[in-house]
Chains A and B, each alone.
Chain A
Amino acid sequence: MVKEIERAGLPVVHMCTIVPISKTVGANRIVPTVAIPYPLGNPELSQEKEKDLRRQLVDRALTALGTEVDSQTVFDR
C-alpha cells in the first residue's frame, strides 16, 4: 500500500516494526516502531509515558515527511 500511495504522488512514511519487510515492499521513508502488537505504544509504561513515546515516534514520522530523501531511508533517531 505504501508504494501505491507514493506512486500516486503523496509523500508517505511507513511506521512499522519489521523494517526488513518495509524495505522489501519498497517504502522510502521508514520509522521503526516499538512492537508488533503495539507499534505506537508500550503497555509496560504509564499512560503518560506511553503517550510521550507515541508522540516522539510520530514527531519522527513528521520529520521524515519533511525530509528530502533519494532512496529508502530509515529514520531511527
Chain B
Amino acid sequence: MSKFRVVHYLNQFFGQVGGEDKADIPPFVKEGPLGPGMALQGVLGDQAEIVATVVAGDTWFNENIADAQTQVLELIAQHKPDLVLAGPAFNAGRYGMACGGVAEVVHNELGIPVITGMYPENPGAEMYRRHAYIIETGNSAAAMRKAAPAMGQLALKVLQGQELGSPQQEGYIPQGLRKNIFTQQRGSQRAVDMLVAKLQGQEFETEYPMPSFDRVDPNPAVKDVSKAKIALVTSGGIVPRGNPDHIESSSASKYGKYDIQGIEDLTEESHGTAHGGYDPVYANENADRVLPVDVLRDAEKEGKIGSLHRYFYTTVGNGTAVASAKKYATEISAELIADGVDAVILTST
C-alpha cells in the first residue's frame, strides 16, 4: 500500500532560513521534512510521508495575502498531496495568518484536509478555523513537544478516514460547525435538566456556545479636526532609546507613557523599538516610520490639527495577551480622556 503524501508549510524561522531579518523571503520548496517536520514525520511513521516542505517569510505572506496564497498553493499542488500540515504557529500572529491563509486556499481549491496548530488567541485561529483542523497549542514554541504529536495523530486519523470525536476530544479548536447526533434523551429533557442545574448553581455544559460578539459601535466623528487634540498610541513598541522601562519584546507586561513635548521628530538617537516581532532596522533608524510624530508636528504647525498630545503611549503587540492589551487600553483611555484628548491614532506593525 502506498504511503499518503503530505506537504508541510513553514515560516522562515522554523524553515531554518533566519529570523525577522528574513521574514520577507518569497516561498521555496525543499524535498522531504524540515525542522519541526522531522518530529511530525516521526509521528506519521510509515503510513504517510512528508514529500515536500514549502517555506515562506511571514512578512512576505501577510503583506500581500491573496498573491501569497496563489503562489504557495501552486507549490503545494505540484506535489499532489493527500493532506497539508502547516506550522504549528503557536501564538505568532503573522505565522498563524499564513498557516490559516494556506489552509483556506488548499481547502477551497484542492479540497484536501489541512492540519495546523495555534494558540486560541492567534488571530489566524478565529479567521481560518473553518478551513483547517487547528490543534489547540500553548503560546510558544516550548509547546512543540505536545503540538507535533497531536497534529500528527489527527493527520493520520483524517487520512485513514476514521470518524472523529468532538473538537474537545480530538484537541482542535471548534470550527463552529453543527453536527446532528442521536442521544438517549430527547431535547426537552436535556433542556430542562440544564435549566435545573443552572438554577441550582451547578455545572452544566451548553450544547451551543453563543459566539462572543464583542463589537463596539464607532464613536461620532471629530467635529473639527483642526481644533482637536490628537494622541498617538502604538503597539509597535516605539520607546526612548535604551527602553528605560524595559518593555518586553514579546508578551509585554506593561505599557509606556512618554513625553514628546518640544520634540519635533524622532531620530535614531532619540527613539527605537522594543518590539521583537518585526525586523527592527527601519524603526530604529527612524521611529517616525511607526509613530509619525514628525508629520503630526507639521500638521499642528499648519493648523490642520488643534494639537498633538504631549504624551504618547506604547506597548509591544507581539504575542501580548488579549486581556493584557484590553487592560492597558482601558487605563490609557482614562488618562487620555482626563487630559482632554479628542481622538486617537493607533499604529500597529
Contacts and interface: CB of A to CB of B under 8 A. Distances in A.
Q: Do A and B bind each other?
A: yes
Given A6-B219, A24-B126, A40-B290, A15 B345 contact: yes
Interface in A9-38: 9-18, 20-22, 24-26, 28-29, 33, 35-38
Interface of B: 20, 23, 59, 62-63, 65, 93-94, 97, 123, 126-127, 214-225, 228, 230, 233, 235-236, 278-283, 285-286, 288-290, 292, 294-296, 298-299, 304-305, 315, 325-326, 328-330, 332-334, 336-337, 341-349
A55 B337 contact: no
Contacts of B23: 36-37
A77 interface: no
Contacts, number: 193
A46 interface: no
Interface of A: 1-18, 20-22, 24-26, 28-29, 33, 35-41, 43, 50-51, 54-55, 57-59, 61-62, 65-71, 73
Nearest to B126: A24
Nearest to B235: A1
Given A17-B349, A61-B345, A67-B221, A36 B336 contact: no
A9 B219 contact: yes
A70 B218 contact: yes
A9 B337 contact: yes
Contacts of A39: 236, 289-290, 347-349
B295 A8 contact: no
B97 A21 contact: yes
When A and B form their complex, which 6 residue pairs have the shortest distance between CB atoms, in order from nearest?
A: A41-B289, A8-B333, A4-B329, A28-B218, A1-B329, A16-B348
Most chain-B Cβ atoms within 10 A of its Cβ — which of A25, A29, A36? A36
B336 A38 contact: no
